[in-house]
Structure 1
Amino acid sequence: MDNPSILADASLPDDPVLLKAIIRELLAAHGESQKEIDTLRHRLDLLLKRVYGPKSDRIHPDQPSVFDEADLPQPAPALEPPRTEEPTKNRKKGHGRKALPGNLRRETTEIDIPEVEKRAIGGNWVRIGEEISEKLDYKPSSLFVQQTIRPKYVIRFDDGSQDQLKVAELPPDAFPKSKAAPGLIADVIVSKLVDHLPLYRQEQRYARQGVEIARSTLCVWLADAAEVLHPLYQLMKADLLNAPILHTDDTTVRDKIAGIDTILDNYSD
């Protein structure tokens, strides 16, 4: 049956088998029509979005759609001109790997041929050079105890004078009453203010190295460091204020900006 949809009710057969066959053909035709309708509706939506959609989604009308590439005529592949080999001397060499910085400390490990192998081969082995390979390595920071030893002396005089006790004086210390050396306090300051590492994470980091340092202790160290470094802060502040040009970021000081605008408006009036 070429087109069962145009059959009239009067021309339908009475045989149930034929009626079922007609229904199956009608359902198949309806499915194909629905697919075509969905495809056309999708293309219409894309076209409307390209023309009337938001600016961020709008596409120039002359720009082809990536969904219609199969329908567009494909251009013939262009013939590439024959490649000519360039002379070797004109080719640029690759940059290769950059050498590791020379200012880094080197830890050298020498690996020699075992003596057993040397004796097995025999002959006179004369060292004429060496092969050096380098890899960048890292050792995590570690805690250690800075121990200062000061010899203690007793001075006895032959003339019977009273003996004297002498011990070398400690060098100047910014934190004389603290158990933390300046290097450890500097690590706490840099980790928090430069690397943005909270104190509770620093506490965990030191605990992994076997030393329990409470966050309250770290806070005290920061406060002591702020008090010690306050004169240096004042000098830096004075140096900045004496500069001919001072660049600042005042985006968060909205009340001051509003006050300045008010003063300017009153001055202009």
Structure 2
Amino acid sequence: MVFSRENFDQLLGENANLKSEVSLLQEKVQCLMKKLFGRSSEKLSPDQLMLELEELRELQEALELAETKAELAEEEPAASKRGKRKGLDARVPKDLPTETVIIDLDEVKANPELYKKIGEVRTVRLDVTPTRFFQTVTIRNKYKKRADRSVASLIAPAPKQLIENSYASVGLVLHIILSKYCDHLPLYRQEQIFKQRFGVEISRKTMGGWMYLVAQWLSLI
């Protein structure tokens, strides 16, 4: 159903008038109920009361109908202003990584030489991988010369750590910093999230020490 601006304004006016009439009738009914059941000696005919109530019911129905039409009239311009919905390509970065899953029938997989591909149907969905913890293990092999065992063993130098003698990686510290200062997650809440969702225990005191070191490094710039 399409409403013009003139019809829309007319419906709003009718809606306001009906609301006013219903309010007046409600006050009138309250007054009539007091006269009928209150202490006043004035008597009221039951027929007169039923007539007033019937008139009130009809006005309420008319009000509900007018409100429904007004809501439809409000939705119609909004839908026309929205226009065509943006596609997924316009909502995500151009360089967003893509994972492709190919699904074939079992009979095609069993005998691919019997079939010829004539087309495909693509369905694109936006997915996300939640935060996940994993361990990075660095192994440095030690070697000894076979010909001369008196020579000291050889081993590759250890890679430089962000925080010496700490199990924290650059990725972990960066995640905590972004969560605290960009996502407004205090350290105690991060501690709870790590333990409850992932079973990883990192105390807020430990994370606070890491934040202190990072703050010292950044103070130089």
TM-score normalised according to structure 1 size: 0.46
Structure 1 SS opposite 2:208:
helix
In structure 1, the residue matched to 2:52 is none
* Contact 2:191/2:204 (<8 A) preserved: yes
Counterpart AA for 1:27: K
Instruction: Say yes or no: does 1:201 pair with 2:189.
Output: yes
Deviation at 1:149, TM superposition (A): 1.2
In structure 1, the residue matched to 2:43 is 27
> Structure 2 vs 1, CA of residues 143 and 114 (structure 1 numbering), >3 Å: closer, same or farther?
same
> Which of 109, 133, 138 is residue 143 of structure 1 equivalent to?
133
Counterpart AA for 1:106: T
In structure 2, the residue matched to 1:175 is 163
> Which of 200, 215, 219 is residue 226 of structure 1 equivalent to?
215
* Contact 1:151/1:167 (<8 A) preserved: yes
Structure 2 SS opposite 1:155:
coil
In structure 2, the residue matched to 1:110 is 102
In structure 2, the residue matched to 1:126 is 116
Question: How many positions carry a matched residue from both structures?
Answer: 143
Specify the structure having the higher radius of gyration (Cα). 1
> Structure 2 vs 1, CA of residues 228 and 157 (structure 1 numbering), >3 Å: closer, same or farther?
farther
| Counterpart-to-counterpart distance in 1, 2:172 and 2:147 | 44
| Counterpart-to-counterpart distance in 2, 1:118 and 1:183 | 44
Q: Which structure 2 segments of 5+ residues have no match?
A: 1-39, 49-62, 64-82
| Counterpart-to-counterpart distance in 1, 2:85 and 2:135 | 45
Counterpart AA for 1:140: P
Counterpart AA for 1:109: V
Deviations along 1:10-52, one digit per CA (max 9) or x if unpaired, are xxxxxxxxxxxxxx994339xx9xxxxxxxxxxxxxxxxxxxx
* Contact 2:144/2:153 (<8 A) preserved: yes
In structure 2, the residue matched to 1:153 is 143
Counterpart AA for 1:228: W
Q: Which structure 1 segments of 5+ residues have no match?
A: 1-23, 33-69, 71-92, 235-269
Deviation at 1:176, TM superposition (A): 1.8
Structure 2 SS opposite 1:28:
coil
* Contact 2:108/2:115 (<8 A) preserved: no
* Contact 2:194/2:202 (<8 A) preserved: yes
In structure 2, the residue matched to 1:250 is none
Deviation at 1:109, TM superposition (A): 1.8
Deviations along 1:112-169, one digit per CA (max 9) or x if unpaired, are 12218998xxx942013322211001111111111111111112445xx722211111
Identity of aligned pairs, percent? 36
Deviation at 1:110, TM superposition (A): 1.5
| Counterpart-to-counterpart distance in 2, 1:176 and 1:218 | 14
Counterpart AA for 1:150: R
Counterpart AA for 1:127: K
| Counterpart-to-counterpart distance in 1, 2:179 and 2:209 | 15
> Structure 2 vs 1, CA of residues 178 and 114 (structure 1 numbering), >3 Å: closer, same or farther?
same
Deviation at 1:172, TM superposition (A): 2.3
In structure 1, the residue matched to 2:203 is 214
CA RMSD of aligned residues (A): 3.2
| Counterpart-to-counterpart distance in 2, 1:133 and 1:140 | 22
In structure 1, the residue matched to 2:32 is none
* Contact 2:179/2:185 (<8 A) preserved: yes
Higher helix share: 2
